Structure 1
Amino acid sequence: MKKLQLSFKTAAGKRRDLVLNYVKDDLDPLVVKNAMDKITASKIFEKDTVQLFAEVASAKYVQRTETEIFKTKLS
């Protein structure tokens, strides 16, 4: 399953990610950027008075691949 990882800079200059499940895998970059801009403009995410999603940084799809090596009866 692909996830969409939206990366932002906080008001303190640190990186914060917002990861979304169940997203379309053909999203237009401009649509994603505009959505991220709306998130930053809303200023609704805050921790200890620091704006968590203050500036848009990047967006990417993330897909995890698992390859089983072995499995015991306890698993």
Structure 2
Amino acid sequence: MKKLQLRFKTAEGHKKNLVLNYVKADLTPEEVKAGMAKISASKLFEQNTVQLFQEVLGASYIERIETKAL
């Protein structure tokens, strides 16, 4: 299963990831960037009055492959 890892910078300058499961595997960079911009502009995510997803840094698909040893 592929996951989409979105990387943002918080209002305090720290890096913060948002990992989405069950995403379409064929999203274009423009679609991902537009979605991230909407998340950032919504200002819905705060922790201790600090905006968590203030600035878009990047995104990547993460795929985990598990091989049984026994």
TM-score bracket, shorter-length normalisation = over 0.9
- Matching residue of 2:26: 26
AA matched with 1:45: F
Q: Percentage identity across aligned positions? A: 61
Alignment-derived partner of residue 48 in structure 1: 48
Q: Provide the C-alpha distance between the structure 1 equivalents of 2:52 and 2:15, rounded to a whole number of angstroms.
A: 9
Q: How many positions carry a matched residue from both structures?
A: 70
String of CA shifts for 1:1-43, please: whole Å, max 9, x gaps. 0001111000111111111111111101111101101111111
User: Structure 1 regions of 5+ residues with no counterpart?
Assistant: 71-75
Report the TM-score when normalising by structure 1. 0.89
Partner residue in 2 for 1:8? 8
Ranges in structure 2 where 5+ consecutive residues have no aligned partner? none
Distance 1:21 1:2 in 2: 7
Larger radius of gyration: 1
Moved over 4 A (4+): none
Q: Tell me by how many angstroms 1:67 deviates.
A: 1.5
**How far apart are the structure 2 equivalents of 1:65 and 1:14?**
29
1:68 deviates by 1.5
Alpha-carbon RMSD across the aligned residues, in angstroms, is 0.7
